[in-house]
Amino acid sequence: MNKSPLRIAAACLATFAAFAAAPAHAGKTLDGIKSRGQVVCGVNTGLAGFSAADSNGKWSGLDVDVCRAVAAAVLGDGEKVKYVPLNAQQRFTALQSGEVDVLSRNTTFSLTRDASLGLHQTAVTYYDGQGFMVPTKSKIKSAKQLKGQTVCVQSGTTTEKNLTDYSKANNLAIKPVVFEKVEAATGAYFAGRCIAYTTDASGLASVRNKEAKDPAEHLILPELISKEPLGPMVRRGDDEWFAIVKWVVYGLIEAEEYGITQANLEQMKTNADPVVQRILGTTEDTGKLLGLERDWMARAIKTTGNYGEIFERNVGPKSALALPRGLNNQWNKEGLMYAFPIR
Protein backbone atom coordinates (compact mmCIF):
# COMPACT_ATOMS: atom_id res chain seq x y z
CA MET A 1 0.00 0.00 0.00
CA ASN A 2 1.33 3.43 -0.95
CA LYS A 3 1.66 5.89 1.91
CA SER A 4 0.12 9.31 1.46
CA PRO A 5 2.46 12.34 1.13
CA LEU A 6 0.97 13.68 4.36
CA ARG A 7 1.86 10.54 6.32
CA ILE A 8 5.35 10.49 4.84
CA ALA A 9 5.89 14.14 5.79
CA ALA A 10 4.66 13.48 9.31
CA ALA A 11 7.03 10.53 9.67
CA CYS A 12 9.95 12.65 8.43
CA LEU A 13 9.13 15.42 10.89
CA ALA A 14 8.97 12.96 13.75
CA THR A 15 12.34 11.50 12.78
CA PHE A 16 13.87 14.99 12.52
CA ALA A 17 12.46 15.99 15.90
CA ALA A 18 13.87 12.90 17.54
CA PHE A 19 17.27 13.52 15.93
CA ALA A 20 17.28 17.20 16.91
CA ALA A 21 16.51 16.37 20.54
CA ALA A 22 19.29 13.78 20.78
CA PRO A 23 22.50 14.61 22.62
CA ALA A 24 25.28 15.87 20.37
CA HIS A 25 28.37 13.81 19.69
CA ALA A 26 31.22 15.27 21.72
CA GLY A 27 33.66 15.74 18.84
CA LYS A 28 37.32 14.78 18.76
CA THR A 29 38.62 17.99 20.35
CA LEU A 30 36.30 17.72 23.33
CA ASP A 31 37.10 14.02 23.63
CA GLY A 32 40.79 14.91 23.84
CA ILE A 33 40.17 17.64 26.40
CA LYS A 34 38.16 15.31 28.62
CA SER A 35 40.81 12.62 28.30
CA ARG A 36 43.65 14.91 29.41
CA GLY A 37 41.45 16.86 31.83
CA GLN A 38 42.64 20.19 30.53
CA VAL A 39 41.89 22.84 27.89
CA VAL A 40 45.04 23.99 26.09
CA CYS A 41 44.67 27.68 25.30
CA GLY A 42 46.94 29.79 23.10
CA VAL A 43 47.37 33.32 24.49
CA ASN A 44 49.50 36.42 24.02
CA THR A 45 53.01 36.33 25.43
CA GLY A 46 52.09 39.30 27.60
CA LEU A 47 49.43 41.93 26.94
CA ALA A 48 48.13 43.45 30.16
CA GLY A 49 44.36 43.34 30.41
CA PHE A 50 44.05 40.55 27.85
CA SER A 51 46.57 37.84 28.69
CA ALA A 52 49.58 38.23 30.94
CA ALA A 53 51.24 36.14 33.64
CA ASP A 54 52.30 37.58 37.00
CA SER A 55 55.53 36.80 38.86
CA ASN A 56 53.97 33.58 40.15
CA GLY A 57 52.98 32.42 36.69
CA LYS A 58 49.27 33.08 37.21
CA TRP A 59 47.54 34.21 34.03
CA SER A 60 44.85 36.89 33.89
CA GLY A 61 43.06 39.04 31.35
CA LEU A 62 39.97 39.16 29.16
CA ASP A 63 41.26 36.50 26.76
CA VAL A 64 42.34 34.34 29.69
CA ASP A 65 38.87 34.58 31.23
CA VAL A 66 37.38 33.30 27.97
CA CYS A 67 39.58 30.21 28.30
CA ARG A 68 38.56 29.81 31.94
CA ALA A 69 34.88 30.06 31.05
CA VAL A 70 35.26 27.41 28.35
CA ALA A 71 37.11 25.10 30.75
CA ALA A 72 34.40 25.57 33.37
CA ALA A 73 31.68 24.79 30.82
CA VAL A 74 33.32 21.60 29.54
CA LEU A 75 35.22 20.32 32.59
CA GLY A 76 33.45 22.01 35.50
CA ASP A 77 36.64 23.76 36.63
CA GLY A 78 37.96 27.03 35.24
CA GLU A 79 41.44 26.30 36.55
CA LYS A 80 41.89 23.29 34.28
CA VAL A 81 43.62 25.31 31.58
CA LYS A 82 47.13 25.09 30.21
CA TYR A 83 48.21 28.45 28.79
CA VAL A 84 50.59 28.44 25.83
CA PRO A 85 52.09 31.91 25.16
CA LEU A 86 52.36 32.56 21.40
CA ASN A 87 53.70 35.46 19.39
CA ALA A 88 51.96 36.74 16.25
CA GLN A 89 53.94 34.45 13.93
CA GLN A 90 53.39 31.30 16.02
CA ARG A 91 49.69 31.61 16.84
CA PHE A 92 48.02 30.20 13.73
CA THR A 93 50.48 27.35 13.25
CA ALA A 94 50.02 26.31 16.88
CA LEU A 95 46.25 26.06 16.38
CA GLN A 96 46.48 24.40 12.97
CA SER A 97 48.87 21.74 14.28
CA GLY A 98 46.76 20.90 17.32
CA GLU A 99 49.27 22.29 19.82
CA VAL A 100 46.41 24.32 21.31
CA ASP A 101 42.64 23.65 21.41
CA VAL A 102 41.62 27.27 21.12
CA LEU A 103 43.42 30.50 20.27
CA SER A 104 42.27 33.29 22.58
CA ARG A 105 44.85 35.90 21.73
CA ASN A 106 43.59 39.37 20.69
CA THR A 107 43.29 38.12 17.10
CA THR A 108 41.36 40.03 14.44
CA PHE A 109 38.70 38.29 12.38
CA SER A 110 39.23 38.93 8.66
CA LEU A 111 38.19 37.32 5.38
CA THR A 112 41.70 36.08 4.57
CA ARG A 113 42.11 34.43 7.94
CA ASP A 114 38.65 32.92 7.85
CA ALA A 115 38.98 31.55 4.31
CA SER A 116 42.60 30.47 4.01
CA LEU A 117 43.98 29.25 7.34
CA GLY A 118 41.77 26.22 7.99
CA LEU A 119 40.45 27.95 11.10
CA HIS A 120 37.04 29.05 12.34
CA GLN A 121 36.39 32.48 13.83
CA THR A 122 33.93 32.00 16.70
CA ALA A 123 32.45 35.12 18.34
CA VAL A 124 33.72 38.64 18.96
CA THR A 125 34.91 39.28 22.52
CA TYR A 126 36.30 42.78 21.94
CA TYR A 127 35.58 45.34 19.22
CA ASP A 128 38.77 47.30 18.64
CA GLY A 129 40.44 49.54 16.07
CA GLN A 130 44.02 50.35 15.18
CA GLY A 131 45.50 53.55 16.53
CA PHE A 132 48.78 55.36 17.13
CA MET A 133 50.74 56.35 20.23
CA VAL A 134 53.22 59.23 20.18
CA PRO A 135 55.37 61.00 22.77
CA THR A 136 53.45 63.93 24.26
CA LYS A 137 56.48 66.15 23.66
CA SER A 138 56.20 65.52 19.90
CA LYS A 139 53.17 67.88 19.86
CA ILE A 140 51.50 65.53 17.35
CA LYS A 141 47.72 65.58 17.88
CA SER A 142 46.49 63.72 14.80
CA ALA A 143 47.56 60.71 12.74
CA LYS A 144 47.50 62.98 9.66
CA GLN A 145 50.56 64.72 11.14
CA LEU A 146 52.64 61.55 10.75
CA LYS A 147 53.56 62.38 7.12
CA GLY A 148 57.05 61.10 6.34
CA GLN A 149 57.52 59.88 9.92
CA THR A 150 58.80 56.54 11.21
CA VAL A 151 56.27 54.24 12.87
CA CYS A 152 57.17 51.08 14.78
CA VAL A 153 54.97 48.08 13.96
CA GLN A 154 54.96 44.31 14.47
CA SER A 155 55.17 42.04 11.43
CA GLY A 156 52.76 39.18 10.74
CA THR A 157 49.76 41.20 11.90
CA THR A 158 46.83 43.04 10.33
CA THR A 159 48.43 46.12 11.89
CA GLU A 160 51.30 46.15 9.39
CA LYS A 161 49.01 46.02 6.33
CA ASN A 162 46.59 48.56 7.82
CA LEU A 163 49.46 51.00 8.34
CA THR A 164 50.54 50.66 4.70
CA ASP A 165 46.96 51.06 3.45
CA TYR A 166 46.35 54.14 5.62
CA SER A 167 49.60 55.75 4.50
CA LYS A 168 48.80 55.21 0.80
CA ALA A 169 45.17 56.32 1.10
CA ASN A 170 46.19 59.57 2.78
CA ASN A 171 49.44 60.19 0.87
CA LEU A 172 51.46 60.25 4.10
CA ALA A 173 54.58 58.33 3.00
CA ILE A 174 54.88 56.84 6.49
CA LYS A 175 58.08 54.85 7.02
CA PRO A 176 57.28 51.57 8.83
CA VAL A 177 59.99 50.14 11.07
CA VAL A 178 59.04 46.48 11.30
CA PHE A 179 59.85 44.04 14.12
CA GLU A 180 58.99 40.37 14.47
CA LYS A 181 58.30 40.54 18.20
CA VAL A 182 56.06 43.05 19.92
CA GLU A 183 58.64 43.56 22.67
CA ALA A 184 61.17 44.69 20.07
CA ALA A 185 58.66 47.07 18.48
CA THR A 186 57.65 48.71 21.74
CA GLY A 187 61.24 48.81 22.95
CA ALA A 188 62.28 50.65 19.80
CA TYR A 189 59.45 53.14 20.21
CA PHE A 190 60.29 53.93 23.84
CA ALA A 191 63.96 54.23 22.87
CA GLY A 192 63.06 56.94 20.38
CA ARG A 193 63.77 55.00 17.21
CA CYS A 194 60.26 55.76 15.89
CA ILE A 195 58.07 58.81 16.36
CA ALA A 196 55.01 56.58 16.80
CA TYR A 197 53.96 53.05 17.65
CA THR A 198 50.86 51.47 16.12
CA THR A 199 48.66 48.55 17.12
CA ASP A 200 45.09 48.04 18.32
CA ALA A 201 43.96 50.86 20.61
CA SER A 202 43.50 48.42 23.49
CA GLY A 203 47.07 47.24 22.99
CA LEU A 204 48.33 50.81 23.02
CA ALA A 205 46.65 51.39 26.37
CA SER A 206 48.16 48.16 27.70
CA VAL A 207 51.67 49.00 26.50
CA ARG A 208 51.49 52.58 27.79
CA ASN A 209 50.32 51.40 31.22
CA LYS A 210 52.80 48.55 31.52
CA GLU A 211 55.98 49.75 29.81
CA ALA A 212 56.12 53.55 29.85
CA LYS A 213 58.20 55.10 32.63
CA ASP A 214 55.51 57.77 32.84
CA PRO A 215 52.26 57.00 30.94
CA ALA A 216 51.45 60.73 30.89
CA GLU A 217 54.40 61.26 28.54
CA HIS A 218 52.64 59.30 25.78
CA LEU A 219 49.47 60.21 23.90
CA ILE A 220 47.14 57.82 22.11
CA LEU A 221 45.87 59.74 19.07
CA PRO A 222 42.10 59.98 18.60
CA GLU A 223 41.84 58.41 15.14
CA LEU A 224 41.14 54.72 14.61
CA ILE A 225 42.22 53.61 11.15
CA SER A 226 40.65 50.14 11.00
CA LYS A 227 38.04 47.76 12.33
CA GLU A 228 39.54 45.06 14.55
CA PRO A 229 36.95 42.57 15.83
CA LEU A 230 38.86 40.30 18.21
CA GLY A 231 37.88 36.86 19.44
CA PRO A 232 38.84 33.20 19.89
CA MET A 233 39.52 30.88 16.97
CA VAL A 234 39.37 27.10 16.61
CA ARG A 235 40.38 24.59 13.92
CA ARG A 236 38.02 23.73 11.10
CA GLY A 237 36.76 20.17 10.95
CA ASP A 238 35.31 19.89 14.45
CA ASP A 239 31.93 21.59 14.36
CA GLU A 240 31.07 20.39 17.87
CA TRP A 241 34.03 22.20 19.43
CA PHE A 242 33.39 25.27 17.28
CA ALA A 243 29.82 25.39 18.62
CA ILE A 244 30.94 25.02 22.23
CA VAL A 245 33.43 27.91 22.18
CA LYS A 246 31.03 30.14 20.25
CA TRP A 247 28.09 29.50 22.57
CA VAL A 248 30.12 29.97 25.75
CA VAL A 249 30.97 33.49 24.53
CA TYR A 250 27.35 34.18 23.56
CA GLY A 251 26.21 32.85 26.92
CA LEU A 252 28.50 35.24 28.80
CA ILE A 253 27.16 38.17 26.77
CA GLU A 254 23.52 37.14 27.17
CA ALA A 255 24.02 36.56 30.90
CA GLU A 256 24.96 40.23 31.25
CA GLU A 257 21.94 41.29 29.21
CA TYR A 258 19.63 39.42 31.59
CA GLY A 259 21.40 40.48 34.78
CA ILE A 260 22.95 37.15 35.74
CA THR A 261 26.17 37.78 37.66
CA GLN A 262 28.76 35.76 39.51
CA ALA A 263 27.29 37.00 42.79
CA ASN A 264 23.58 36.45 42.15
CA LEU A 265 23.83 33.20 40.17
CA GLU A 266 22.17 30.98 42.79
CA GLN A 267 19.43 33.50 43.43
CA MET A 268 18.70 33.83 39.72
CA LYS A 269 18.02 30.11 39.44
CA THR A 270 14.59 30.85 40.93
CA ASN A 271 13.96 33.80 38.58
CA ALA A 272 10.74 33.40 36.59
CA ASP A 273 12.19 34.70 33.30
CA PRO A 274 12.25 31.78 30.81
CA VAL A 275 15.44 33.12 29.20
CA VAL A 276 17.25 33.15 32.54
CA GLN A 277 16.03 29.63 33.22
CA ARG A 278 17.36 28.40 29.87
CA ILE A 279 20.75 30.06 30.35
CA LEU A 280 21.15 28.44 33.77
CA GLY A 281 19.75 25.06 32.70
CA THR A 282 16.98 24.95 35.28
CA THR A 283 14.12 24.26 32.83
CA GLU A 284 15.78 23.11 29.62
CA ASP A 285 18.89 21.04 29.04
CA THR A 286 20.70 22.91 26.28
CA GLY A 287 23.95 21.30 27.36
CA LYS A 288 23.07 17.98 25.77
CA LEU A 289 22.93 19.67 22.37
CA LEU A 290 26.60 20.60 22.82
CA GLY A 291 27.72 17.36 24.43
CA LEU A 292 27.98 19.12 27.81
CA GLU A 293 26.33 18.94 31.22
CA ARG A 294 23.02 20.65 31.87
CA ASP A 295 24.60 23.44 33.94
CA TRP A 296 27.38 24.21 31.44
CA MET A 297 26.65 27.92 31.27
CA ALA A 298 26.03 28.31 35.00
CA ARG A 299 29.51 26.83 35.56
CA ALA A 300 31.08 29.40 33.24
CA ILE A 301 29.30 32.36 34.83
CA LYS A 302 30.19 31.16 38.33
CA THR A 303 33.85 31.03 37.30
CA THR A 304 34.31 34.34 35.48
CA GLY A 305 31.10 36.34 35.87
CA ASN A 306 29.24 37.59 32.81
CA TYR A 307 30.84 39.45 29.90
CA GLY A 308 30.40 42.85 31.55
CA GLU A 309 32.14 41.64 34.71
CA ILE A 310 35.00 40.22 32.65
CA PHE A 311 35.36 43.53 30.78
CA GLU A 312 35.26 45.73 33.87
CA ARG A 313 37.70 43.58 35.83
CA ASN A 314 40.34 43.39 33.11
CA VAL A 315 40.15 46.45 30.88
CA GLY A 316 37.27 48.68 32.05
CA PRO A 317 37.32 52.23 33.42
CA LYS A 318 38.22 51.07 36.95
CA SER A 319 41.03 48.77 35.77
CA ALA A 320 44.65 49.75 35.15
CA LEU A 321 43.91 50.13 31.41
CA ALA A 322 40.88 52.37 32.06
CA LEU A 323 39.28 51.66 28.68
CA PRO A 324 35.74 52.92 28.09
CA ARG A 325 33.06 50.34 27.36
CA GLY A 326 32.22 52.06 24.07
CA LEU A 327 31.47 49.65 21.23
CA ASN A 328 31.77 46.75 23.65
CA ASN A 329 28.62 47.76 25.48
CA GLN A 330 25.43 45.74 25.10
CA TRP A 331 23.40 46.29 21.93
CA ASN A 332 20.60 47.89 23.97
CA LYS A 333 23.11 50.37 25.45
CA GLU A 334 24.42 51.68 22.12
CA GLY A 335 27.14 49.04 21.80
CA LEU A 336 27.77 46.11 19.44
CA MET A 337 27.59 43.22 21.91
CA TYR A 338 24.61 41.27 20.63
CA ALA A 339 24.47 37.65 21.72
CA PHE A 340 22.71 35.02 19.65
CA PRO A 341 19.91 33.67 21.87
CA ILE A 342 20.35 30.53 23.95
CA ARG A 343 17.15 28.70 23.06
Query: What is the number of domains present in the chain?
Result: 2
**Residue 64, φ and ψ in degrees, nearest 5:** -65, -40
184 and 250 share one domain = no
* Domain-embedded: residue 10: no
Mean pLDDT across 306-325: 96
41 and 57 share one domain = yes
Mean pLDDT across 245-258: 98
> Please, which residues bridge with residue 199 across strands?
131
284 and 236 share one domain = yes
pLDDT in tens, 99-116: 999 999 999 999 999 999
pLDDT in tens, 13-33: 444 444 444 455 668 999 999
* pLDDT band, very low/low/confident/very high, at 9 (cuts 50, 70, 90): very low
Residue at which a domain ends, from 164, 191, 226: 226
Mean pLDDT across 316-342: 96
218 and 245 share one domain = no
pLDDT of residue 156: 84
235 and 256 share one domain = yes
* Domain-embedded: residue 8: no
* Domain-embedded: residue 17: no
pLDDT in tens, 49-68: 999 999 999 999 999 999 99
CATH number at 91 reads 3.40.190.10
Instruction: Specify the 3-state DSSP secondary structure of 261.
Output: coil
54 and 176 share one domain = no
* Domain-embedded: residue 336: no
* Domain-embedded: residue 337: no
* Domain-embedded: residue 181: yes
CA distances to 37, 81, 103, 106, 231 from 95, in Å: 19, 15, 7, 14, 14
Give CA–CA dist 238/138, Å, rounded. Answer: 50
189 and 247 share one domain = no
Instruction: Specify the 3-state DSSP secondary structure of 19.
Output: helix
DSSP letters, 187-216, are HHHHTTSSSEEEEEHHHHHHHHHHH-SSGG
Residue at which a domain ends, from 195, 226, 257: 226
270 and 122 share one domain = yes
* pLDDT band, very low/low/confident/very high, at 7 (cuts 50, 70, 90): low
151 and 187 share one domain = yes
Give CA–CA dist 268/172, Å, rounded. Answer: 55
Judged against a pLDDT cut of 90, whether residue 314 lies above it is answered with yes
Roughly what angle, to the nearest 10 degrees, separates helices 62-75 and 28-36?
A: 90
158 and 76 share one domain = no
The domain of 68 spans 28-127+230-328
Rounded (5°) CA angle 227-59-110:
20
Residue at which a domain ends, from 205, 226, 247: 226
pTM of the model: 0.88
115 and 78 share one domain = yes
pLDDT in tens, 67-103: 999 999 999 999 999 999 999 999 999 999 999 999 9
